[in-house]
């Protein structure tokens, strides 16, 4: 295996234990956020958007320096830090800042019923919820956090944010970026520490929680939120399938599967983890993957490298165990398979497994590292069954030249999003909801107007138009009125039903 080089990584020791937030500090942060909420919630969406746009400009102007920081702390290639994190965050900030006024404006709602539309006016108002707790993971420390943070802020909430204990420096940087945009004090605060700090935050008087991380921790977060009766969103793991039909552009499909699996060293919730390829082209497809595995640049400067380090030893040992289990279960290693641990980090060769079983680890479990499982299928029904045969349902991709077939198939896949002739592109499309079904989560992190509105309380407002003395259905009741209403209901939902 070629020697893998990484720029001097930032280690946890350099961060220092003393930065971990204590319970009184978390309590104080939430209390300060509550105070700040009274002011921030009164700031107009247009003004809030100005802060976010200024912060975006700071991120844009300092992108290379911040890319180095992300790369050093997470081990990912600098190119991925720049493109998959910084560019994505800049775009989401731009999209929502430009549309915050429109998405948060009180909306007039047309009433469907003739009687109601003649007598009432209806509105929906979007009001901030209060203090939002946001807990995020280490795999995309900037973009995974920036999206919910800025949506919650633009919606008028204050935020107490806990980054992963594996990437606290980028976590603090996010607050610095937003402060550079002039964000007032205590509107966004960061607390530092591991799971116990996240758990402590959930015991505090917060009004909503957004969590991105593993399914196991997501369940704990949901339980804590249910106890407090507060809304929550969970964006969890995935074991995303890709289905490749024989009529697909195989070159593009192989490139997509390869990048979709090995980018970020495979540590992406929406990575391509299982490929199902039509039998007639399976050998060609696997051959194309093998070629790419050999040419992936593992060494050179952080800008040159194409394969990053795994985040830590825990992940390294986990992926090693999953690979060994899969091989014991009969999977054939057609590329990679080697793991390397040295003073600069934990690395894993891009590994491709071919199998005809669905009970091996690489098919059953979420693999959060550079291991891709490939299996051949004969019929479309078989491909759908195999693709859906997982507890997860984050995203999926389909490769075929037949667009109609792809759109019909997309409906049959149990996934929060589907890419056609593409991979891992939905998260960076802010117009689309990004979230999962089954064990991949509840709700979504962004996606058009709902991305901002799910950090609000929707208030229904109904106003009478004419100011008559009383409505017909108010007191007094009586036999005559009863008969009249019975007739009216009959007319309205029978003879006049075409008006509804
Ligand atoms: P990982 O083990 O890969 O870091 P997790 O889902 O455990 O995945 O972590 C995602 C985020 O959740 C991190 O910020 C982590 O510190 C936090 N976390 C872990 N356990 C808890 C918990 N019990 N309550 C709240 N947050 C937690």
Which conformational region is residue 9 in: left (phi greater than 0), alpha (psi within -120 to 50 degrees), or beta? Answer: beta
pLDDT, position 470: 96
213, 226, 445: residue to mutate for ligand 1 pocket, most atoms within 8 A of CB: 213
pLDDT, position 490: 96
Between the CA of 460 and the centroid of ligand 1 the distance, in Å, is 36
The protein residue whose alpha carbon is closest to atom 20 in ligand 1 is 195
Q: Are strands 395-399 and 240-244 parallel, antiparallel or unpaired?
A: parallel
Q: Is the CB of 53 under 6 A from ligand 1?
A: no
Q: How far is CA 380 from CA 217, 354, 362, 423, in A?
A: 35, 19, 22, 20
Q: Is the CB of 221 under 6 A from ligand 1?
A: yes
Between the CA of 148 and the centroid of ligand 1 the distance, in Å, is 16
Q: Is the CB of 20 under 6 A from ligand 1?
A: no
pLDDT, position 18: 58
Q: Is the CB of 158 under 6 A from ligand 1?
A: no
Q: Which residues contact 360 (CB under 8 A, 6 or more apart)?
A: 325, 326, 329, 330, 331, 353, 373
pLDDT, position 343: 74
Rounded to an integer, what is the distance from CA 301 to the centroid of its chain? 30
pLDDT, position 2: 33
Token representation of residue 91: 């775009």
Q: Is the CB of 141 under 6 A from ligand 1?
A: no
Q: How many CB atoms lie within 10 A of CB 328?
A: 10
Interatomic CA distance for residues 137 and 311, integer angstroms? 11
Per-residue pLDDT of the chain (500 residues; tens, 9 = 90+): 333 344 456 655 545 555 899 999 999 999 999 999 999 999 999 999 999 999 999 999 999 999 999 999 999 999 999 999 999 999 999 999 999 999 999 999 999 988 899 999 999 999 999 999 999 999 999 999 999 999 999 999 999 999 999 999 999 999 999 999 999 999 999 999 999 999 999 999 999 999 999 999 999 999 999 999 999 999 999 999 999 999 999 999 999 999 999 999 999 999 999 999 999 999 999 999 999 999 999 888 889 999 999 999 999 999 999 999 999 999 999 999 988 887 778 999 999 999 999 999 999 999 999 999 999 999 999 999 999 999 999 999 999 999 999 999 999 999 999 999 999 999 999 999 999 999 999 998 789 999 999 999 999 999 999 999 999 999 999 999 999 999 999 999 999 999 88
412, containing H or E segment: helix 403-412
Q: Is the CB of 312 under 6 A from ligand 1?
A: no
Between the CA of 440 and the centroid of ligand 1 the distance, in Å, is 15
Between the CA of 280 and the centroid of ligand 1 the distance, in Å, is 43
**Which DSSP state fits 193?**
-
Q: What are phi and psi of 373, to 5 degrees?
A: -105, 130
Q: Is the CB of 209 under 6 A from ligand 1?
A: no
Q: How many CA atoms lie within 13 A of 366 on its CB side?
A: 24
Q: Is the CB of 162 under 6 A from ligand 1?
A: yes
Active-site amino acid positions = 235, 269
Q: Quick one: which atom of ligand 1 is closest to the CA of 368?
A: 3
Angle 70-266-371 from CA coordinates, rounded to 5°: 155
Between the CA of 439 and the centroid of ligand 1 the distance, in Å, is 16
141, 145, 217, 236: residue to mutate for ligand 1 pocket, most atoms within 8 A of CB: 217
Token representation of residue 295: 């040419």
Say what the alpha-carbon torsion angle 442, 445, 449, 455 is, to the nearest 10 degrees.
80
With residues binned 3-state (H G I as helix, E B as strand, rest as coil), the percentages for the chain, rounded to 5, are 45, 20, 35
Q: How far is CA 250 from CA 92, 246, 287, 375, 421, in A?
A: 31, 8, 11, 15, 10
Q: Is the CB of 222 under 6 A from ligand 1?
A: no
Q: For residue 17, is the peptide bond before it cis, meaning its omega torsion is within 30 degrees of 0?
A: no
Between the CA of 231 and the centroid of ligand 1 the distance, in Å, is 18
Locate all alpha helices (DSSP H) within 41-87, ordered by sequence. Answer: 45-61, 63-74, 78-80
Say what the alpha-carbon torsion angle 264, 269, 274, 275 is, to the nearest 10 degrees.
-70
Interatomic CA distance for residues 124 and 18, integer angstroms? 47
The protein residue whose alpha carbon is closest to atom 18 in ligand 1 is 195
Interatomic CA distance for residues 124 and 340, integer angstroms? 56
Q: How far is CA 143 from CA 91, 146, 193, 218, 443, in A?
A: 10, 5, 19, 19, 18
Q: Is the CB of 213 under 6 A from ligand 1?
A: yes
Residue keyed to tokens 């080089």: 5
Between the CA of 137 and the centroid of ligand 1 the distance, in Å, is 7
The candidate with the shortest Cα–Cα distance to 141, out of 323, 267, 301, is: 267
Evaluate whether 72 touches 9 at the Cβ level (below 8 Å): yes
Give this prediction's pTM.
0.95
Q: Is the CB of 164 under 6 A from ligand 1?
A: yes
> Per-residue pLDDT tens for 163-215?
999 999 999 999 999 999 999 999 999 999 999 999 999 999 999 999 999 99
The protein residue whose alpha carbon is closest to atom 4 in ligand 1 is 137
The protein residue whose alpha carbon is closest to atom 26 in ligand 1 is 198
Between the CA of 201 and the centroid of ligand 1 the distance, in Å, is 12
169, 195, 224, 315: residue to mutate for ligand 1 pocket, most atoms within 8 A of CB: 195
E-state strands within 263-388: 272-278, 332-335, 339-342, 345-348, 351-354, 371-377
Interatomic CA distance for residues 288 and 243, integer angstroms? 16
């Amino acid at each position: 295996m070629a020697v893998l080089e990484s720029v001097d990584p930032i280690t946890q020791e350099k961060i220092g234990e003393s930065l971990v937030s204590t319970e009184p500090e978390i309590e104080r942060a939430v209390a300060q956020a509550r105070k700040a909420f009274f002011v921030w919630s009164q700031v107009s969406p247009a003004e809030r958007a100005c802060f976010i746009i200024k912060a975006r400009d700071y991120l844009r102007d300092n992108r290379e320096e911040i890319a180095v920081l992300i790369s050093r702390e997470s081990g990912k290639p600098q190119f991925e830090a720049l493109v998959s994190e910084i560019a994505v965050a800049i775009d989401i900030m731009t999209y929502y800042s430009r549309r915050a006024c429109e998405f948060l404006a009180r909306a007039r709602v047309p009433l469907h019923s003739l009687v109601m539309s003649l007598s009432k006016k209806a509105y929906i108002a979007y009001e901030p919820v209060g203090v939002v707790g946001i807990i995020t993971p280490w795999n995309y420390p900037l973009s995974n956090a920036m999206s919910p943070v800025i949506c919650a802020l633009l919606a008028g909430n204050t935020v107490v944010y806990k980054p992963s204990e594996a990437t606290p420096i980028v976590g603090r940087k996010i607050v610095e970026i937003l402060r550079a945009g002039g964000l007032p004090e205590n509107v966004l605060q960061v607390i530092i520490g591991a799971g116990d700090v996240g758990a402590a935050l959930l015991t505090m008087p917060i009004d909503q929680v957004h969590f991105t991380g593993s399914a196991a921790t997501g369940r704990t977060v949901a339980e804590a939120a249910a106890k407090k009766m507060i809304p929550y969103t969970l964006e969890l793991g995935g074991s995303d399938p890709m289905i490749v039909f024989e009529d697909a552009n195989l070159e593009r499909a192989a490139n997509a599967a390869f990048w979709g699996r090995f980018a970020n060293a495979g540590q992406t919730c929406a990575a391509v983890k299982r490929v199902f390829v039509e039998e007639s082209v399976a050998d060609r497809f696997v051959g194309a993957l093998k070629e790419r595995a050999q040419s992936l640049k593992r060494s050179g400067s952080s800008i040159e490298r194409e394969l990053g380090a795994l985040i830590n030893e825990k992940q390294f040992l986990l992926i090693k165990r999953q690979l060994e289990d899969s091989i014991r279960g009969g999977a054939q290693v057609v590329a990679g398979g080697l793991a390397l641990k040295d003073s600069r980090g934990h690395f894993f060769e891009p590994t491709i497994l071919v199998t005809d079983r669905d009970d091996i680890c690489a098919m059953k479990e979420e693999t959060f590292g550079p291991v891709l499982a490939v299996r051949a299928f004969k019929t479309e029904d078989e491909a759908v069954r195999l693709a859906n045969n997982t507890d997860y349902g984050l995203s999926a991709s389909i490769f075929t030249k037949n667009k109609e077939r792809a759109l019909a198939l997309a409906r049959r896949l149990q996934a929060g999003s589907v890419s056609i002739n593409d991979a891992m592109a939905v998260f960076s499309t802010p117009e689309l909801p990004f979230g999962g079904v089954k064990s991949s989560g509840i709700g979504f992190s962004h996606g058009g107007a709902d991305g901002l509105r799910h950090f609000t309380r929707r208030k229904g407002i109904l106003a009478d138009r004419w100011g008559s003395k009383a409505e017909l259905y108010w007191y007094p009741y009586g036999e005559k009125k009863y008969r009249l209403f019975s007739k009216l209901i009959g007319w309205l939902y029978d003879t006049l039903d075409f008006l509804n």
